[in-house]
Amino acid sequence: MKVDELKTWGEMNPEEKGALLLAKHEGKTIQWLDPKDPHDEWDYAFNLWADHMCYRVKPEPEVKQVILKGRCYPAGHTWFFDEHPVGATHKITFNLVDGKPDCLSIQMEEL
């Protein structure tokens, strides 16, 4: 969402404010952004509801599973993993969460 499309707390109507308050009550994470700082990133809102700040419910992360298959080259010193390797002997599976590898999700298995 572009900064010029954001509404500050002071600009929100009662329904928009109510939706944020309900989300907070339900335990969802509320984030804030200073619209005057276009390079700023959404951060966790601890001091809520300042008229000049923008607020949102933290979006659910985008999770994508990546599967790479590979094998060791005959000399035994180099492994190669790709989506479609020839003669694969092993498979690595991991998740990307918002485009970043989740190291705790890495699994490797023999084919």
pLDDT-above-70 percentage for the chain: 94
Residues 41 and 70 in one domain: no
Residues 70 and 106 in one domain: yes
Q: Which domain holds residue 15?
A: 3-57
pTM for the full model? 0.61
* Coil/strand/helix, residue 4: helix
Virtual CA dihedral for 44, 45, 46, 52, nearest 10 degrees? 150
DSSP category for residue 29: P
Residues 7 and 51 in one domain: yes
Residues 23 and 51 in one domain: yes
- How does 19-49 read in b/e, with b if 16+ C-beta sit within 10 Å? ebeebbeeeeebbbbebeeeeeeeeebeeeb
pLDDT in tens, 1-49: 555 578 999 999 999 999 999 999 999 999 999 888 767 788 887 767 8
How much is the average pLDDT of 76-91? 82
Instruction: Using the predicted structure, report yes or no on whether residue 74 has a pLDDT greater than 90.
Output: no
